[in-house]
Amino acid sequence: MESEVVTALRKVIDTKQLAGAATLVWRDGRARTACVGWRDVEANLPVERDTIFRLASMTKPITSVAALMLLDEGRIALTDPIVRYAPEFSQMQVLRSPDGPLDETDPAERAITFEDLLTHRSGLTYGDFHQGPIGQPGSAMYYKPFDRPSWVDDRKNRRCPPSEKYSSGVFSTRWA
């Protein structure tokens, strides 16, 4: 009988969303692996346990897994405000308009939670994803990838209130 993981992967591969995939799950002291699809479609070579994959932007899923482990252990709750662990995010301001002046803000109605981060709805974003002052070089929100973000000085780094809108961003995760 085929595992649920293999069945799910086959659906993705059969619909050509992926050429192939390999998984490894460690549970109860035992590793379980599943390899499905092709590492080289043209040469008809299957994915194997030692197939090498190019990975990009892995910080977000790895951070999400770590957060979900903390959740599973009861160390955090999805509804916990992140200010308990990162007080720099207290007294946050929300832009009145995503395209408006950076000094036109209101106090956030509530704190950002772990659920907001895990579902990518924290309101934090990359400035260069947007038009207007928030996306202009020199704004507190604007920086290029690999530049160090401002944690303390930028209290206006919220484009929208948490939970109102999905927004890809610096301090959010994509997977949950």
- What secondary structure does DSSP assign to the chain, as a single string? ---HHHHHHHHHHHTTS-SEEEEEEEETTEEEEEEEEEEETTTTEEP-TT------S-HHHHHHHHHHHHHHTTS--TTSBGGGT-GGGTT-EEESSTTS-TT-EEE-SS--BHHHHHTT-SSB--GGGSSSGGGSTTSTT---TTSPPPSSS-TT-BSS-TTTS----TT--S--
pTM over 0.85: no
> Is 144 a residue whose pLDDT tops 90?
no
Q: What pLDDT, on a 0 to 100 scale, did the predictor assign at position 127?
A: 55
Task: Kindly state whether residues 99 and 150 are assigned to the same domain.
Answer: yes
Catalytic residue among 57, 122, 150, 163: 57
| pLDDT tens-digit map of 46-73 | 999 999 987 777 788 888 999 999 999 9
Q: What pLDDT, on a 0 to 100 scale, did the predictor assign at position 133?
A: 67
Task: Kindly state whether residues 50 and 111 are assigned to the same domain.
Answer: no
Domain that holds residue 80: 57-176
Task: Kindly state whether residues 72 and 149 are assigned to the same domain.
Answer: yes
Quick one: average pLDDT of 84-103? 82
Task: Kindly state whether residues 43 and 81 are assigned to the same domain.
Answer: no
Task: Kindly state whether residues 23 and 95 are assigned to the same domain.
Answer: no
Active site residue 57: yes
